[in-house]
Amino acid sequence: MNPHPVYKPAALSDVDSMIAAYPFALVISSTDAAPLATPVPLLLERGADGELSLLGHVPRTHPHTDLLRQQPRALAVFQGAHGYISPSWLSDRTQAPTWNYESVQLEIEVEFDDSDEATQNALNRLVDHMERGRPNAWAVADMGARYAKLAPYVVAFRARVIAAYAKFKLGQNERPGDLAEILAGLEREQQRPLLEAMLRAGVSVD
């Protein structure tokens, strides 16, 4: 993990938590013609040896799927809580506006598994993750016979994480007085995800 020296996560576990909360990533590949980007839900996994990987699935017939089979190196970009920070909240109106955010970029190497078992595992894992804690939670098995008709249209993959870069810009360099006013502004405008992310980052108004 290569965190930003100023805007680094308070702990590596914060990266796992952010990706778990915001699993919808943009997978980007480079081609001779033009970059290709596809939004994909991905689950982060840590092996016993600490190695990171991503579990996902994509349409079986898709230009980006074809490209990844030929060129498995790609970039997965996760965007967490974010929002505009307005100087209108501050007593010192000479301050400039900014944007606070959580972002993780993972350089990956994709390996497809065309087996039915891999597809079922990837779909079950994602659905279980997204349905966890919901009343009357839905499961893939609820599809019944319809699952067999739809599952062949997707293919599962696992992506080994080669390099990781994290930047959690959450007010770590703000003056205490400005930070207190920023937090109050976020509260007034009900930007709860960003407010909670800043509080989790341990920013202090003391």
pLDDT in tens, 53-76: 999 999 999 999 999 999 999 999
DSSP secondary structure letter of residue 94: T
Q: What pLDDT was estimated at residue 204?
A: 67
Closest CA to 196 of 168, 165, 167, 173: 168
Q: Which of the four pLDDT bands, split at 50, 70 and 90, describes residue 152?
A: very high
Reading the block at residue 4, the tokens are 């930003």
Whole-model pTM: value is: 0.93
CA distances from 83 to 41, 86, 94, 106, 178 (A): 22, 9, 20, 22, 16
The mean pLDDT value of the chain amounts to 95
Rounded to a whole number, what is the distance in angstroms from the first to the last CA of the chain?
A: 30
Tokens in use for 198?
Answer: 């800043």
Q: What is the pLDDT of residue 31?
A: 86
**What percent of the chain has a predicted confidence (pLDDT) above 70?**
99
**Whole-angstrom Cα distance, residue 9 to residue 19?**
13
pLDDT in tens, 83-118: 999 999 999 999 999 999 999 999 999 999 999 999
Q: Is 180 helix (H, G, I), strand (E, B) or coil?
A: helix
* Rounded to 5°, angle at Cα 128 from 103 and 47: 60
Residue 104 carries which side chain, given as an amino acid letter?
Answer: V
Q: Supply the pLDDT for residue 205.
A: 65
Q: Are the CB atoms for 101 and 79 separated by under 8 Å?
A: yes
Examine the pLDDT at 196 and tell me if it is beyond 90.
Answer: yes
- 3-class SS of residue 131: helix
